[in-house]
């Protein structure tokens, strides 16, 4: 995937993707009679898929291609077209684009490579191509892509080998991938998992159509229930996030794999905040907002797509387990705990009723009917029905090893599952078995999910629970800024005193303090503010004052203040002789409390992002930070703080008094509003620490790195 | 799995498992002519497996059973037997045992249920059975098990449905499972993964033979390369750990899944240490010692067994990646980082040499030969050979999507892999592809691992790296106690002062201190020890003194000491009026340093376990603790401390001085030696905090809970 910069939203309104995605007539320019060639394979696919529109191969040398009548040129086509596949060399593309536009095409697919992925010259070619496409009103897929398909209508302008074995299984999944090769890999695996993929779009260089717009199309598309996404990079985050939010509000699951996490992690930035929050964490936090089911592995991606496309979303996280093996039940219960599901026991009377039927079994949860169920298969049905009716579980998992594959047991078991199906039709229900595809498909036809690995079954259903929770959240309201007019960030590096003034103006509470330049001024300030005081060096060039002895605490007398001033200046000249020195800050002692770090960072992709971590160096050592796109409301800030693993330090553990989380949340929200409003002026802001007292919070130190100061 | 207590190592020497595992003659007592019945299915399996010894069905009513000559009784058998399957009701088992012993049987398999798993009466029956077996010199497998098989000789006394589709694929894997049903599930999945399982043993109630002894057999067995274990409970931890250590020293991988983690986690114990270290963590720490590859999921278990049974162990953690797709390469690199493997780039000259051949490709690492490799397949071979020769990678992963399945590309690709195979024969090499079984098997025959999911490929190879590292560790030496004669732990609850005396006697450094009973004694002690001092309440009933105001710090004058005494006594009477009060402890101020928590806990399964965590409440809030079976050497204690996620707080971050880790390690080792030597007297010990100064470490507070105090 390689893209070039291009202007969005300029020029006349562009066609929708309807022509590309659901055409009634398609031209293949450069069609070949040889199904092994790049211009021949798509014709072969259309023929085998039984495209239900008109297909026009264009080839000046042949009257017929693979059974279709061929045309010497686009101009010779007998009717209008909606979509064209341009299987021609780069130098013929512009002409071909003009020709298909003349015939009414609204979409064009370009496999051809040699564009932005090949450096500046290719990028210029690509710009020319997208400019021309815009001028003639054609939407481009590619270049340098593997094409797409829309299986339900047999539309398949692609040379992906994924269709060599036939069209995908029927289904309601739409898949969009930035890598054609990895898309092909996913399609092969999806077929093996009996996942029906109706749309696949590989976006290639995204000269025009990007992932976001395809997602938008699939959100609106009535044939699509689930959207699978494979991302390598995000070109237009605003479009992507808007599409993801539309999907969430439409309650249409987006299951997404974003790669490059290890590379992104290596891109460490300068300020503390940045080093705590890798870019992937930022993106991950954004995806969380939109309720995207983000998957780390290929298998997880397919598992969640599989589950979301076959099962209803659960109403909660309570899992009921039915098993014929103690071991299987324990494994499912372990997995539930691992994936954040609960496994409460059945109500006592319901247990007793089942025990009366089979006293050697156990009906708490897991419900272990034991292998004795072979003697009374109705225990399976009654167990399942009681789990839903009496247990009130939100989802079910049933472990039956190879019973479904048995010629003797299989049909009886299937009858019980089928008979009880109406009871649990509203719940995801995973059957953990080993059986051949045909038997698995039989259970799937009844609405069950089939897995061989119990942990994958539970993990996929837990992902469904996460989707349901995200879908239930209302649309996010605009976050009002805490102060009416937010201050600008100077273009020059900002020292502590100036930083705190800016933060104070933005609504982040700070202590009263004075910048002084000699010992007499220090004593006067201390007397005014009230002893005891603290004193600190102020320099845009000294990030970690404590380490060089640039902080003096608990100064109780005028003499102590005077001595400390000398000591601080001495420390600066010894340890940071080249640092610019703005002076020394005098402030009252802040008192006791729990320290937080608040951060604001402008990510090149996601934009302004707010961060909170526990104070001291634990946030860094333990990677315990929470991110959210800025601005965040006070309520969202509070939720961020409570999501810290170390949040119990604030809520009160071991007799420690609870800290004023509301005040901390207000400070974080205020910082985030400043960051969002002035993102263009900011590289990063760090408040370290924010002292959260029993009553109130106050920023004790702050660092602002302006955008321009970053070279 | 249900067991009864039984005495080990009493009575005469018992037969080995040879008769059970590798018999030349087998009797099936209670054999049936109907392969659907429990006494008939094993006969059917033996027949289909072509058992290469003598099989004697015993049935008083038939002269022939499933083609074998049948005998009316065991006494009528024409020759001696090594093993018997006793498919008879419980009340006939003792007689059958006598009869088969008379015929020389050294092993017997008992499917029959209704023993220890059914309560006290069944447990008594089971005891009678194991006693008789011991008396007549027969080793028992079961009761209440699904039997076993040894595929290479066609020995299959089992009614598991896993053999319904024929014997397992040939191979060198031995599998032992405490659940027969889950064992069956694993066998079905192993077949689907083309894993050859030569032995499977389901141990059932373990009346005699347990998991440990089977592992021991497989460690010594020349037909076995890899041992897979499924555990629900550990009946004889010493035997298990000894067997695991023998496996490690024999460099034979043990791949293990232990379930019940969520239940174990819920069993919270009383003291801090216990609440920090759940029983599963203790077991996990023990498995780590023996280099066991512990797997959380079924799929991971099979992946690691698969990889360990087919690939050599790697010499390090450097992964080289070859790919035809940028996406595939990125995913593999991400997975490497996730699983703790490194992906250093190729040396510059080697990159240049390959670039000269294909300038559009990238040969850093991942080596992305791009789809252009179709034009020059030798790039694949040259890339692979250069990765091993020039890159020095320890393992390889190659991503080729569906190329191997292509009729055109497949054979050419396979030729390149085969030709380069001698170069990488010493490395694990995972091929990530989608292809039918026959094609996968072709690559496997060349020594490659085949996966469809890149992350599973990398995860399995990372597990191999972990095995190799564990195998390279020498046998563990005995840990000498730091002091010659370790103190006993009183049977009564131990207060802080007494606890510190015990710890001091055991070699854990403590501050000099005095227990006082009135204000005058306190002032005298403070004067003797040197002001400033700290004072604390001493009571066996007050675990968290700070929370009730039971600690006074920084007392600089005699008056302050006097006032503090009154305040402490007041706090005790207010907040813990019923607590027994031993007095007040006076000690010098300890100075600055980083606080650790040291713990010692006697786990009912694993025995004495040492624990270290960061001080304050972070260890608990962040679950950042490290465990190791006690005793630990100073060097092992040091390694434990450095494995803390928060270890940078000790090694020095952000200008903080490094703490004396050596002194902390000595203290931890001393505590662990005390715990190991006096395990029977101890429930738990907690040193909280151990203050680790720049020079030296000292226990500031301690709590000892004796074993008997736990009711």
What's the predicted TM-score (pTM) here?
Answer: 0.89
CA distance B527 to A205: 80
Taking a contact as any Cβ pair under 8 Å apart, which residues of chain B between 107 and 126 contact chain A? Answer: 118
**Is the Cβ pair A454, B178 closer than 8 Å?**
no
Comparison of pLDDT for B190 and A357, the residue scoring more:
B190
Closest CB from A327, A622, A655 relative to B179:
A327
Render the burial of B407-422: b for 16+ CB within 10 Å, e for the rest.
eebbeebbebbbebbe
Confidence band, pLDDT 50/70/90 cuts, at residue A193: very high
**What is the pLDDT, as a whole number, of residue A9?**
46
With a cut of 60, say whether residue A154 has pLDDT above it.
yes
Give the Cα separation of B48 and B668 in Å (integer): 59
| pLDDT of the residue at B9 | 46
Judged by CB atoms closer than 8 Å, whether chains meet at B164 and A408 is answered as no
Residue B365: CB atoms within 10 Å = 24
Interface test with A, best of B303, B323, B402 (most A CBs within 10 A): B402
Q: Which CATH number fits domain A512-588: 3.90.1010.10, 3.40.50.300, 3.30.70.260, 3.30.1490.20?
A: 3.30.1490.20
Neighbour tally for A437: CB within 10 Å: 12
Chain B residue numbers touching A187 (CB-CB < 8 A)? none
pLDDT band at B59 (very low <50, low <70, confident <90, very high): very high
Residue A375's closest CA among A353, A408, A329, A419? A408
The 10s digit of each residue's pLDDT in A274-302 is: 233 347 888 899 999 999 999 999 999 99
Q: Over the stretch B132-164, which tens digit does the pLDDT of each residue have?
A: 999 999 999 999 999 999 999 999 999 999 998
pLDDT confidence of residue A617: 65
Q: Across all residues in chain A, what is the average pLDDT?
A: 90
Q: How confident is the model at residue A204 (pLDDT cuts 50, 70, 90)?
A: very high
Give me the percent of chain A exceeding a pLDDT of 70. 94
A331: chain B residues, CB-CB within 8 Å: 182, 259, 298
Give pLDDT tens digits for B161-174: 999 888 999 999 99
Q: What angle do CA B274, B276, B280 make, to 5 degrees?
A: 80
Q: What percent of chain B is predicted at pLDDT more than 70?
A: 94
pLDDT at B448 over 50: yes
Considering only CB atoms, which chain B residues are within 8 Å of A162? 402
Enter the tokens of residue A317.
């996280």
**How far B196 CA sits from the closest chain A CA (Å)?**
17
Residue A655 binned pLDDT confidence (cut-offs 50, 70, 90): low
Q: Where are the beta strands (DSSP E) in B232-350?
A: 254-258, 293-294, 319-323
| Distance (Å) from the alpha carbon of A78 to chain B's nearest alpha carbon | 37
In the structure, what pLDDT confidence band is assigned to residue B266 with cuts at 50, 70 and 90?
Answer: very low
Are the beta carbons of B189 and A337 separated by less than 8 Å? Answer: no
Who among A177, A330, A654 is closest to B232 (CB)? A330
Contact B327 A622 (CB under 8 A): no
Q: Three-class SS of residue A591?
A: coil
More confident residue, A345 or B374: A345
Please say whether the beta carbons of B506 and B600 come within 8 A: no
* Nearest-CA distance A246 → chain B (Å): 27
Among B162, B455, B649, beta carbon nearest to A297: B455
Q: Is A331 on the interface with B (CB under 8 A)?
A: yes
Of B179, B297, B654, the CB nearest to A326: B179
Residue A616 reports pLDDT greater than 90: no
Confirm whether A18-308 and A314-472 share one CATH topology.
yes
Is B7 a residue whose pLDDT tops 80?
Answer: no
Q: What is the mean pLDDT of residues B673-693?
A: 94
Minimal Cα–Cα distance from A28 to chain B, Å?
23
Cα distance between residue B425 and residue B422, in whole Å: 5
H/E/C letters for each residue in A464-510? HHHHHHHHHCCCCCCCCCCCCCCCCCCCCCECHHHHHHHHHHHCCCE
A404 CB neighbours in chain B (<8 A) are none
Whether chain A has a CB inside 8 Å of the CB on B327: the answer is yes
**Which comes out higher in pLDDT, residue B375 or A447?**
A447
Using an 8 Å CB-CB cutoff, list chain A residues near B299: 453, 455-456
Predicted complex ipTM: 0.88
Give the gap in angstroms from C-alpha B99 to the nearest C-alpha of chain A. Answer: 30
C-beta neighbour count of A163 within 10 angstroms: 23
Provide, as residue numbers in chain B, all residues whose Cβ is less than 8 Å from the Cβ of A179. 325-328
What average pLDDT does this structure show over A565-583?
88
Q: Is A564 on the interface with B (CB under 8 A)?
A: no
What is B18-308's CATH superfamily? NAD(P)-binding Rossmann-like Domain (3.40.50.720)
How sure is the predictor about B618, in pLDDT bands with cuts at 50, 70 and 90? Answer: low
Task: Return residues 263-322 of A near B (CB < 8 Å).
Answer: 263, 265, 296-299
CA dist A77 and A56 (Å) reads 7
Please give the average per-residue pLDDT across A189-203, as a whole number: 96
Structure letter (DSSP) for residue B342: B
Domain boundaries, chain A: 18-308, 314-472, 512-588, 594-710
pLDDT tens figures, B553-605: 888 899 999 999 999 998 888 888 888 888 999 998 888 888 999 999 998 88
Answer yes or no: do B617 and A330 touch at CB < 8 A: no
Helix (H) or strand (E) holding A345: none
pLDDT score, position A8: 45
**Chain B contacts of A656, Cβ < 8 Å?**
617
Closest-CA distance, B3 to chain A, in angstroms, reads 15
User: pLDDT tens-digit profile of B458-475?
Assistant: 999 999 999 999 999 999
Inter-chain contact B408–A36, Cβ cutoff 8 Å? yes
pLDDT bin (cut points 50, 70, 90) of residue A269 is: very low
- Model pLDDT, residue B552: 87
Parallel, antiparallel, or unpaired: how do β-strands B697-699 and B702-706 relate? unpaired
CB distance B546–A655 less than 8 Å? yes
- B709 CB within 8 Å of a chain A CB: no
Q: Is the pLDDT of residue A439 over 50?
A: yes
Question: What rounded mean pLDDT belongs to chain B?
Answer: 90
What is the spatial distance between Cα A85 and Cα A41, in angstroms, rounded to a whole number?
12
Checking if the pLDDT of B235 tops 90, the result is no
A-proximal residues of B, 385-444, CB under 8 Å:
401-402, 406, 408, 434
Q: CATH for B314-472, among 3.40.30.10, 3.40.50.300, 3.40.50.170, 3.40.50.261? A: 3.40.50.261
- Secondary structure (DSSP) of A500-556: HHHHHHHT--B---EEESSHHHHHHHHHHH-SSEEEEEE-TT-S-TGGGT-EEEEE-
Interchain CB contact of B362 with A (< 8 Å) = no
Size of interface A-B (CB pairs under 8 A): 205
In this predicted structure, which of A193-207, A302-316, B5-19, B344-358 has the lowest mean pLDDT? B5-19
Mean pLDDT value of segment A142-166: 94
pLDDT, position B165: 85
Does residue A38 carry a pLDDT above 50? Answer: yes
Query: Taking Cα atoms as reference points, which of A321, A276, A366, A163 lies closest to residue A597?
Result: A276
| Chain B residues touching residue A299 (CB < 8 angstroms) | 453, 455-456
The predicted structure's pLDDT at residue B11: 54
Spatial distance between the Cα atoms of B93 and A279, rounded to a whole number of angstroms: 67
- Report the residue from B181, B327, B624 with minimal CB separation from A259: B327
Which residue intervals of B576-660 are DSSP H helices?
618-622, 634-642, 648-651
Query: B203, B275, B334: which to substitute to probe chain A, counting the most A Cβ within 10 Å?
Result: B334
Q: Given pLDDT bands bounded at 50, 70 and 90, which one contains residue B546?
A: confident
Mutation for testing the B interface, residue in A146, A166, A181 having most B CBs under 10 Å? A181
Residue A654 confidence (pLDDT): 64
Which pLDDT value is given to residue B507?
96
* Chain B contact present for A80, CB below 8 A: no
A61 vs B: CB within 8 A: no
**CATH topology classification for A594-710:** D-amino Acid Aminotransferase; Chain A, domain 1 (3.30.470)
CA distances to A546, A598, A668, A685, B685 from A702, rounded to whole Å, are 13, 9, 13, 7, 43
């Amino acid at each position: 995937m390689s893209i070039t910069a291009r202007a969005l939203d300029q020029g006349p309104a562009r066609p929708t993707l309807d022509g590309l995605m659901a055409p009634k007539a398609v031209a293949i320019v450069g069609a070949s009679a040889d199904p092994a060639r790049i211009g021949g394979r798509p014709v072969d696919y259309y023929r085998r898929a039984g495209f239900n529109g008109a297909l026009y191969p264009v080839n000046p040398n042949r009257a017929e291609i693979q059974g279709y009548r061929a045309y010497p040129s686009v101009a010779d086509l007998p009717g209008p077209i909606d979509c064209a596949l341009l299987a021609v060399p780069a130098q013929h593309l512009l002409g071909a684009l003009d020709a298909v536009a003349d015939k009414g095409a609204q979409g064009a697919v370009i496999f051809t490579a040699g564009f932005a992925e090949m450096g500046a010259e290719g990028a210029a070619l690509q710009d020319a191509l997208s400019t021309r496409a815009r001028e003639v009103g054609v939407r481009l897929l590619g270049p340098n892509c593997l094409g797409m398909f829309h299986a339900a209508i047999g539309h398949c302008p692609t040379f992906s080998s994924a269709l060599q074995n036939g069209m995908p299984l029927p289904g309601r999944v739409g898949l969009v991938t930035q890598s054609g090769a990895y898309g092909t890999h996913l399609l092969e695996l999806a077929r093996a998992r009996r996942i029906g993929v109706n749309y696949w779009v590989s976006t290639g260089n995204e000269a025009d159509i990007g992932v976001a717009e395809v997602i938008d199309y699939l959100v609106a598309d009535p044939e699509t229930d689930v959207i699978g996404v494979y991302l390598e990079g995000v070109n237009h985050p605003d479009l992507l996030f808007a599409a993801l939010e539309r999907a969430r509000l439409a309650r249409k699951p987006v299951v997404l794999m974003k790669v490059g996490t290890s590379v992104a992690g290596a891109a460490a930035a300068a300020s503390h905040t940045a080093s705590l929050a890798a870019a992937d964490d930022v993106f991950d936090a954004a995806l969380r907002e939109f309720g995207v089911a983000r998957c780390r592995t290929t298998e997880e991606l397919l598992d969640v797509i599989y589950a979301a496309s076959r099962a209803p979303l659960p109403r909660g996280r309570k899992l009921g387990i039915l098993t014929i093996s103690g071991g299987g039940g324990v494994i499912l219960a372990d997995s539930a705990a691992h994936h954040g599901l609960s496994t409460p026991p059945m109500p006592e009377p319901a247990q007793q009723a089942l025990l009366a039927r089979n006293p050697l079994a156990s009906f708490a949860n897991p419900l272990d009917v034991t292998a004795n169920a072979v003697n009374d298969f109705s225990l399976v049905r009654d167990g399942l029905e009681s789990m839903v009716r009496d247990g009130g579980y939100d989802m079910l998992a049933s472990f039956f090893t190879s019973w479904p594959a048995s010629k003797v047991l299989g049909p009886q078991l299937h009858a019980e599952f089928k008979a009880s199906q109406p009871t649990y039709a509203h719940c995801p229900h995973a059957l953990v078995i080993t059986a051949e595809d045909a038997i698995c498909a039989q259970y799937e036809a009844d609405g069950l999910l089939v897995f061989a690995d119990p942990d994958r079954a539970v993990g996929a259903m837990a992902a469904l629970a996460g989707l349901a929770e995200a879908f239930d959240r209302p649309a996010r309201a605009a976050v009002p800024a805490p102060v009416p007019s937010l201050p600008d960030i100077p273009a020059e590096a900002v020292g502590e005193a100036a930083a705190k003034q800016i933060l104070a103006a933005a609504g982040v509470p700070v202590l009263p303090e004075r910048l002084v330049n000699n010992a007499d001024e220090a004593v006067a300030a201390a007397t005014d503010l009230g002893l005891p005081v603290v004193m600190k060096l102020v320099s845009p060039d000294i990030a970690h004052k404590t380490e060089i002895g640039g902080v003096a605490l608990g100064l109780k007398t005028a003499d102590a203040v005077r001595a400390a001033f000398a000591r601080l200046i001495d420390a600066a000249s010894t340890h940071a002789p080249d640092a610019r020195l703005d002076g020394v800050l005098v402030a009252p002692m802040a008192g006791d409390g729990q320290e937080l770090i608040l951060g604001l960072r402008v990510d090149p992709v996601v934009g302004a992002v707010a961060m909170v971590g526990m104070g001291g160096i634990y946030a860094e050592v333990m990677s315990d930070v929470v991110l959210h796109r800025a601005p965040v409301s006070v309520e969202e800030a509070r939720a961020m703080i409570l999501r810290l693993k170390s949040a119990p330090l604030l809520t009160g553990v071991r007799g420690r008094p609870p800290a004023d989380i509301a005040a901390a949340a207000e400070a974080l929200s205020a910082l985030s509003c400043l960051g969002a409003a002035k993102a263009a002026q900011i590289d990063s802001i760090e408040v370290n620490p924010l002292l959260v007292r029993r009553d109130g919070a106050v920023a004790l130190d702050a660092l602002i790195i302006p955008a321009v100061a970053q070279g």
